[in-house]
Amino acid sequence: MKKGNILVVEDQKYVRALLVDALSFFGYSPLEAKTPYEALQMLRKNRVDLSIVDYCLPGMDGLELIEEIRKINSKIPIFITSGFSDIVSKRVEKSAKSLGGIIHFLEKPIDLDNLKNCLDKVISYAV
């Protein structure tokens, strides 16, 4: 039995494929979007239990996307990822309270063991 639906929003093909493969291996049902606009369409059409959002996306950054996600589902847990950990983590910390529900910041390259542990903790509460 699958543990939950996780939306991966990542414009880099290989990073997105790695996350999708890892989520499937961990027992989750991944959905994937390469743009913020695809992600918003998927959120409107599918039950999503958690979203993993890259900070640097075409058209809008990850924090802007999270604002839009909150309009669709105010309670969905969100992980945000970035390779620019120092700059982004400080901006995420400042914005997290107003955006609500950002559970974890994942630094790229993503440690898959850490990802699994974080997912298992959060999904057990969200599903």
CB 63 within 8 A of CB 51: no
Give the pLDDT confidence of 27-84 residue by residue, as tens digits: 999 999 999 999 999 999 999 999 999 999 999 999 899 999 999 998 899 999 988 7
Confidence (pTM): 0.91
For residue 100, is pLDDT > 70?
A: yes
At 117, the pLDDT band (50, 70, 90 cuts) reads: very high
pLDDT the model gives residue 97: 66
If 0-12 CB within 10 Å is exposed, 13-18 middle and 19+ buried, where does residue 65 land? Answer: buried
* Cα 62 to chain centroid, rounded: 9
For 1-25, write each residue's pLDDT tens digit: 578 999 999 999 999 999 999 999 9
Structural domains of the chain sorted by starting position, each given as residue range(s) with its CATH number in brackets: 5-21+30-126 (3.40.50.2300)
